Structure 1
C-alpha cells in the first residue's frame, strides 16, 4: 500500500527588518501621545524652552487638577455628556447598521441595490453642507443646546451600513439562513440567532470607531450646544480662550480626554481579537 506523503508548510520567523519596521511604526504612533504628556507635565514655560527636556516633569497631577477644578471648563459634566453621547451613538449605530446590513446582504427585496447605492452615495456629500439645514431643523424641534441635537443626527451612519453589509455578505453563508428557516425560525429569530453572532466581530469594531468619532467630534457640538452643557472637546477648548494660553494646562486636558479612549482600547482589545477568532464562519 502506497503511503501518502503529507507536506507541511512551515512559516519562517520574521526577520530583523520586520521587527525594525514595526518598532518604527510603534514609536511614530506613540510619540504624539508622549509629547502631549511631556508638555502637560511641565509648566507655562515648557513649550518656549529652547532646551526642552525629554523627561516628563512632575506637574501633570497639579495641571490635571487645575483643569478639573476650572469652573469655566465644567469638566465632570462635560465628561458625563461625552460618555452619554458616545455610548448612545455607538450602540445605536451598531444596532441599526447590523439590521440594515443583514437586510441588504441576505434579503432579496425590490429596490435592494438602489437603496444600498443611495445610502453609499450619501458618503460623498461633505458634512459641512448639511450643517445649516440641520441647525434649522434642530431649532424648529427646540433641541438647540440639548444633547439630543448631537445624538439624533448620528444615530446611524452610511459607513456603518456599508461596513456591516460588506461583512455579512462575506462571512455569513446563505445556507445557514436557509437552514434556520427550514428549522422553523422566522426572519427575526434567524437574524438574532444566525446574523447577530456572525456580525459580532464587525459590530465590535464599528462600535469602537463610532465611539471614538463621537468622542472627538467638535464642530457640530460647537454649533449646537452652549457652554452650560458642553461635551469634553468643547469644554477643553475654553482653556485657549484666555489672552495668555498655558499649553501645559491645555495638553494636560487633552491627556485627560485621551485616557478614557486608551482604557477602552486596552480592555476591549483582547475581546476584539477573541471575537474575530470565535466569530469566523467556515463556508
Structure 2
C-alpha cells in the first residue's frame, strides 16, 4: 500500500488561534473594512458621530464635574485631564462591547465557512481603534494649544496605555464573545460592566480622592486595574505636560503596580485564547 504524505493537511476547524490572524491578514482587512463602512451606513452625519458622541460626553461631564462640583478648580487644565480619560474609556467600552457581540453578529459566516474565529473579536477591536483615532487627534490638538510638548516618557506612556486597553479589550472580548454564543446573558453582563467603566478609573475625579479613603493594599489593587493604569498613563502623556507646578502629580505607586497591569493584560490574552478555543468547536451548532 502506498504511503500518503499527510504533513500538509490540517484537522478541519482547528488552527493556531491568535497566530492565524497574521496568516489571514487579507480577511482581517476585509472584516475591518466591512465594520467601518457599515457602522454609519444610512446615517446623514456618518463619521461625524465619531466626534459628536465623545464631545457630548465631555460637555456633560465637564459641566457636572468641573463646574457644579468644582473639580476644575482643583485640577489645572481639567478639560484635558477629563478628555484624556474619556477617549480611553470610550475605546475600551466600544472595543470590549463589540468584541463580545462579534461572533453572534457574524453568525452567517461562522455557520457557512471555516476561518479563524479569533478574527471577529480582533477585527471588532481594530474598528473601535479607528474610531478612537479621531478623538485622539482632538485631544492632541487641544493639548498642543495648552502648551503640550512631546517627550519620550510621554509618548511611551501613551503607547503603553493604548496597548493595555487594546489587549484587555481583545482578551476579555474573546472570553465573553465565546460565552455569548451559548449564554446570551454574557452580553447583558458586559453592558452592566461597561456602565461602571467610567467610574472605575480616575477619569471624572483624581486618584488622590481614592487614596484618601482606601487602605493601601486596596488602593494598589485599584491602581493595578489596567483601565486605571492606562488612564493615568494618558494623563502623564497628555495632561501633565500642559501643567506647570501642579499640586496633583501621578501617583508614585503607579510605577510599582504597572508591571502587574501589563502582566494582567497579557494574561487576559492567554486566558481569552484558552476559553475561546474551548467553546469555538460548538459555535456553529449553538448559533
TM-score (norm 1): 0.34
Higher RCO by CA contacts (8 Å cutoff, separation 6 or greater): 1
Which structure dedicates a bigger proportion of its chain to helix?
2
